[in-house]
Structure formats: structure tokens, C-alpha cells
Structure 1
Amino acid sequence: MVGVLVLILVLFLINQGLFSSFSKRHKWFSKKLMNFLFLYHLFFYGVYYTYTLFNRSDSKLYYERPQMGSNWFEFFGTSTTFIDFMSWPFINILGFSYEMMMVLFAWFGYIGFVYAYLFFRENIPVKIKVFNIDFIVLVLFLPNMHFWTASLGKGAPIFMGLMMFAYAIKDPKKRWVVLLIGSLITYYIRPHVFLFVAVGTVLGYMTGKEKISFWKKLLVYIGMIGSLLLVQDTILGVAGLDESENLVQGFEDFSEDRAGELARSGSGVDMANYPLPLKLFTFWFRPLFLDAPGVLGLIVSLENLIYLFLFFKILKKDFISFLKKSPVSVKMSITVFLLASVAMSFVMSNLGIIMRQKSMVMYFLFFVIYYYLAQKKYDRIVKLRRRRKKALVTFSK
């Protein structure tokens, strides 16, 4: 327990250094909010750790496996292996206990929230309230997001990698280190998610409304497309498609097999015959009270209801026209969200796994909703100012 307290103190001090750096670059950066968010996230570390005492948890396997090898680089690889690779030096060289590893990975998840905050606030300076709560505060403190990013496993670092990438892609030349780290973390933990991010980025830069220099676009295109070509075999290999002659049929077979396996587990739902809209609804918004698996499911159901209410806010006639005129960040976010959602909805048939997996991509949807609402508010403000200016001109005459 002493080790846990010392580690929390060290991480707190590291946070203050990071916050000072961010404050110099972004005048709007709130240290107070981020420190409170750190305490909030630590609370969920405690909740998840308590959960592991009474329930089966993969985090225990993630702690045990690195101790079975004497060579660090024998764990270097993609997916689960990469988590073991990340953990190996902390466990075998620094002597971290299971509880300390849980804190460390919870901190990785927290850093993801810090970069999510940067991503949102830098791109959307207009403040919006939803349910009488500041939008960004609402999405930063959603409990399900913190629960699944507060433990030793894939959830925390993949979320960190994705949010680092989302923040850095706005200015890849100056933020190339953050962009590279985010890309590598995303790729090595979930190669297929890196595919969605790369495709979303390229499409965003191709169709975004900003006037971006040719060389900046070329740099992004070469970087993303070149990366995909280099790692295509690994990405396809995740689904066993690296030797498939028919990728579409191969993916369908993989989806049916994977969905069947998950449906047979504890909280399975038979999604195999669902139409695509219902698959997506299940992935985004279930469980919803009636099909909630346990107490945790009831809490998640309440959060899913919030997601549903937020989603309703973009079901407007002008949303498509907004997307057409939207910047790179919005088009990248909606592409990543939809690609990941479609792919995962075909292979996910277990509500417990769905609750965990969707935490990776929901922030991209939140960003699109936030931007849409902020744009509408900004347009109203501009229209009001024009009317006032016109009225003043008329009055002066």
C-alpha cells in the first residue's frame, strides 16, 4: 500500500509538470479541473480494484504473464502481447506490485482524458450547456468511461493513444512526437483501430473546409497511407485475413465466428440476424435498463440514456449540411466513429464486452455533437450581431 501512495504522489507531481507545459501553450487550460479529474479517476481505480477482489478480471493475467519471461523483447508484438511488453520493465525491474500496476495504467487512462480535454477545447472555444451542465465537463466525468480506463489492460492505453493522436493531428509538424507515440500505441494495441484512424484522417484532410497547405496535406497522406501499407499484413492478421483471397467473405466468416463465441458467454445477445441499424443501436446504446447485466449494467444503462439524448441532438435536417462544411477534426472524428462502430457491431455479441469496447470511440461522437451544437450557437451569435449592427445603422440615419 505504501508503494501505491508513493506512486500516486509521483504521478501527481508529473501531472503538475505537464499542466504547466499545457498552460503555456493554451491560456484556457484549467489546472483545477484537471486535478479534480485526477482525483475522480483515482476513485474509479479504487472501484475497479475492489471489483477485481470479488470478480474475475483480465488485469490479474496481465500482471502474471510478464513474470513468466526473462527477456523483455520476447513480449514485443501487437494486441495483448504489447500490454505485457509495456508492463514487463515495471514488474520485473522496478518491482511494481499488482496494485501499483493498476495505478500506473489508470494514470495512462487519465492522460487520455487530459488529451481529450485538449482536443475538445482547442477545436471548440464556444461553451455549450447540456442538461444545464457544461458539455465538456459532462463528457469528461462520465463514470463508464473512467471505469474501463482505470485498470491494467488494453482499455487505458488505447484510449490514451487515440486521444493523443486526435490532439496532435491538428498540428502534426509541431506535435509529431505526440502524434508518433499516439499512433504507435494505437497500432500495437489494436491494429484495426489504427486502420480506422488513418482512413478517417486521410478523408478528413481531403474534404475538410480549412485551407491547408499542399505540403501539410502531402505529409499527412504519405504518413497515413505509407503506415497502412507497411502494417497491412498485421491488421489483416488480427482477423486471420492475411492469407484470404476474398477479404469480404473472410470478414463475414470471422464476424460470424466471433459473434457466436461472444453470444455464448454470460451476457450475450444474438445480433447475427440484426439489421445494421439495430446492430449499431445495440453497440452505441445498450444495455438500457431492461437488459442490463447486473448492478454495473444498471449504472451503464443510465449513461447510455445520456448518450441517446445527446445523439438526438444531431438528428436534425441541417446536420448533413453541417458535416459537408465541417473542418478536418469533425470529418476525421465521424469517420473513425462510424468505421469502428460498423466493424465492432458485426463481431460484438456480448453486452459486457460492448460496454468496455465502445469507450474507445464514443469520444469521437461526443466531439462531433459538441462541435455541431457550438457551431449552431456561434451562427446564432453572428446573426444577432449582424441584426444589431444593421439596426444601429438604420437608427443613425
Structure 2
Amino acid sequence: MIGALVLLIFLFLVTQAIFNGFERKHGFFSKKLMNTLFFYHLFFAIVYYTYALFNPSDSKKYFERPQYDGWAWTDYFGTSTTFIDFLSYPFINFLGFNYEMMMLLYAYMGFLGFVYAYLFFRENIPIKIEVFKVDLLVLLMFLPNMHFWTASLGKGAPIFLGLMMYAYALKDAKSRWFTLTLGSALIYFIRPHVFLFVAVGTILGYLTGREQISLSRKLMITSVMIIGLVLAKDTILQMAGLDGSGDIIQEFENFSETRSSELSKSTSGVDMASYPLPLKLFTFWFRPLFFDAPGFLGIIVSFENLIYLLLFFKILKKDFISFIRKSPISVKMSLTVFFLSSLALTFVMANLGIIMRQKSMVMYFLFFVIFYYLAQQKYDRIMKLRRLKKAKEEALKAEAC
């Protein structure tokens, strides 16, 4: 425990240096808000650690595996679970980190994910939006379920960090190439199939976004992402057991049916295999709700899911399609990543507990689209009022003459 306290002090000091750098780079950066977020996320790290002490937790297995006798660091290099073991290996075996220190380290990765999420939102959307009489950005940064599933040793924290680093870096890929590369690597090695969705979303965004981008740059970005997909193809297919398959669609259907059937047998399982697609998506995005909440944690999550649902209602308007058509790269990329990830995961998820954890990986992309849509509406209203005011002033001047 003393080691974890020493590590906490060290990470807090490192955080202040990081914040100072962002403060110099971005005039909008709120060090006070981010420090509050630091301790808020730390609270959930303590909550998760306490929960893991008295309940089964994958974090214990993630701590044990890198300590297998006879295994070298390079033996763990790979994708998915193996890559988490690869990341953990030097901290456990070279630096002597105990279980508490590893939990704190990964919780810190999750916190950095929120920092990059804040930068991603704030840099692209400078307009303040209020919903339910609360600052929307502050509300999104402090959603408890998002913090709970990114505050422990496992895949949740580093994949969230990778996704938010990538999203932030994409606005200025040339100067943020290191952040973009590191984010891409984390996404690919932890969840190769999510890298597929991110790549497709990026290509779609660059080809159809409203920004004036030269043809050469579009071709360069598209070529890089396509090359990345070609190189990652075998790994992505292997993750779903489709490597060497002659009929990928049929094999995926078989895989998803098997996976869904296995998960539906748990205590919090739901038989999603028989659901129509709209209900599958609704289940993934907004359940559990109060009527099917699995335990006390499920009830808490139900309140948060209700917020998701109310926010989602705000884009169910006839002008949303035209907004998407005219939207920038960041919006189209976010919507594509969110929808493709949701579509794929709904076919293999049939357990509300796993759904709660998995969707924390992609929900911020939906929130970004909603936030941008509301900000665009507010901006259009402001500009309309300004034009009316200017026209009125000009009319009064004309009458005076």
C-alpha cells in the first residue's frame, strides 16, 4: 500500500507538468477542472479496487499472468489480452510493482483518456452548451460508469486512452504524429477490430468532411489507413476466428451466435440473438434500465443510461441528417466509429454486465456528435439573430435618411 501512495504522489506531480504543457498550448485548458477530475477518477479507482477485493475480477488474472515462470517479456507480445500482459510485464518484473500499484497505474491511463477526451471536445467545440441546467462538457467528463470501467488493471483504461489520443491528434495530425501513432498502436494491439472501425471512420471523414483539404492530403491519409488495414487484416480476422475462412460472412454469423449464446447463460444475460437490430442497438446503448438492472451497480448505471437516452433524443430531429452531411471530419469519424462498433458488438454481446463495460469504450464518440450538433444549432441561432439585428439597424438608418 505504501508503494501505491508513493506512486500516487509521483503521478500527481507528473500530471501537473502535463497540465502546464497543455495550458501553454491551449488557452481554453482548465487546470482546476482537470485536477478535480483527477481526484474524482481516483475515487473510482479506490471503489473498483475495493470491489475487486471481495468479488471475482479480471484484474487479478492480469496481474498474475505476466509472472509466469519461464516466460520472457517478448513472449507476451501480441494482440488483445496478451498485449495487456506485455504492457504490464516490465512494471511487475523489472520495477517490482505490486497489485495495488498496477491498479493505480492503469487507472491513471484511464484518467489520461479523460484528459484527451476533454481536449478533443473543447478544441473542436468552443461553444458552451447546457443540458438539464448543467454544462454538458462537465456532465460528460464526470459520468460515473465511464470512470468505473476505466479505473482498473485491464483493457478498458488503455483502449480508452488510445481512442481519445487518436481523436485529439486527428485535428492536427502533422504536428501530433506521435500522439496519433501511439493512440493507433494502443487501439490496434488491444482491440484490432476497433482499429478497423477507426480506420474506416477516418477515411470516410477525410473523403466527405466539409473542410477544404487538398486532394494530395486526402490521398495520403486514405492510403496510410488502407495500408494499415491490409497489414492488420489477418489479425482482425483471427480475433473473430475467421482467419483462413472461405465464407467470412457465414463464419461471423456462426461466431456471433456462439458467443451470444454463451454470454446469455450468465445471471445478467439477455437473449439478444432473437432481437431485431433496432432493439439490439437499443440494448447495447441504453440498457440496463431500471426494469432490468442487474444488482445495485446496475441501478446506478440505469440512471446514467437514462441520461444517454435523453441526450440521444436531442438528435432525433429532421435536420440531423443534413447536419451530418455538412459536418466536419471529426463528426463523421466519430459517428462511423460509434455506429460500426455498436453494430459489431451487438451481435456478440448478450450480457448486461459486459455491455456496461464494453460500451464505455465508444460512447464518447456519440456524445461528441450530440455535443457538436447542439453547438451548431446554438451557433446558427446566434448568427441568425445577428443578421436580423444588423438588418434592423440598416432599416432604421435608411428610414432616418
Instruction: Name the TM tier (shorter chain).
Output: over 0.9
Shift of 1:382: 0.2
SS, match of residue 396 in structure 1: helix
Aligned to 1:18: 18
Alignment of 1:222-237 (within 5 A): 222-237=223-238
Tell me the distance in 2 between the aligned counterparts of 1:236 and 1:18.
38
Aligned to 1:166: 167
Aligned to 1:331: 332
Alignment of 1:24-43 (within 5 A): 24-43=24-43
Alignment of 1:283-298 (within 5 A): 283-298=284-299
Tell me the distance in 1 between the aligned counterparts of 2:111 and 2:227.
31
Alignment of 1:135-174 (within 5 A): 135-174=136-175
Aligned to 1:378: 379
Aligned to 2:63: 63
Aligned length: 397
Alignment of 1:215-294 (within 5 A): 215-294=216-295
Shift of 1:64: 0.4
Which amino acid letter does the alignment assign opposite residue 89 of structure 2?
A: W
SS, match of residue 29 in structure 2: coil
Determine if the alignment matches structure 1 residue 47 to structure 2 residue 47.
Answer: yes
Shift of 1:215: 3.0
Aligned to 1:193: 194
Determine if the alignment matches structure 1 residue 74 to structure 2 residue 75.
Answer: yes
Tell me the distance in 2 between the aligned counterparts of 1:170 and 1:213.
15
Mean Cα deviation higher: 374-383 or 266-275: 266-275
Shift of 1:53: 1.3
Q: What's the TM-score, normalizing by structure 2? A: 0.98
Q: Gapped runs of 5+ residues in structure 2? A: none
Mean Cα deviation higher: 212-221 or 114-123: 212-221
Which amino acid letter does the alignment assign opposite residue 45 of structure 2?
A: Y
Shift of 1:24: 1.5
Aligned to 1:348: 349
Aligned to 1:85: 86
Residue deviations 1:24-57 (CA, integer Å, cap 9, x gap):
2110000110010000000000000010111100
Shift of 1:170: 1.0
Aligned to 1:317: 318
Which amino acid letter does the alignment assign opposite residue 36 of structure 2?
A: F
Aligned to 2:396: 395
Aligned to 1:121: 122
Tell me the distance in 2 between the aligned counterparts of 1:46 and 1:213.
49
Q: Among the aligned pairs, what percent are the same residue?
A: 69
Shift of 1:244: 0.8
Residue deviations 1:141-198 (CA, integer Å, cap 9, x gap):
0000000000000000000000000001111111110000000000000000000000
Tell me the distance in 1 between the aligned counterparts of 2:376 and 2:99.
46
Shift of 1:242: 1.1
Moved segments of 4+, more than 3 Å: none
Tell me the distance in 1 between the aligned counterparts of 2:226 and 2:13.
38
Shift of 1:213: 2.1
Tell me the distance in 1 between the aligned counterparts of 2:220 and 2:102.
37
Residue deviations 1:69-119 (CA, integer Å, cap 9, x gap):
441110000000000000000000100010000000000000000000000
Q: What's the TM-score, normalizing by structure 1? A: 0.99
Alignment of 1:197-212 (within 5 A): 197-212=198-213
Tell me the distance in 1 between the aligned counterparts of 2:26 and 2:392.
37
Mean Cα deviation higher: 141-150 or 214-223: 214-223
SS, match of residue 3 in structure 1: helix
Which amino acid letter does the alignment assign opposite residue 338 of structure 2?
A: F
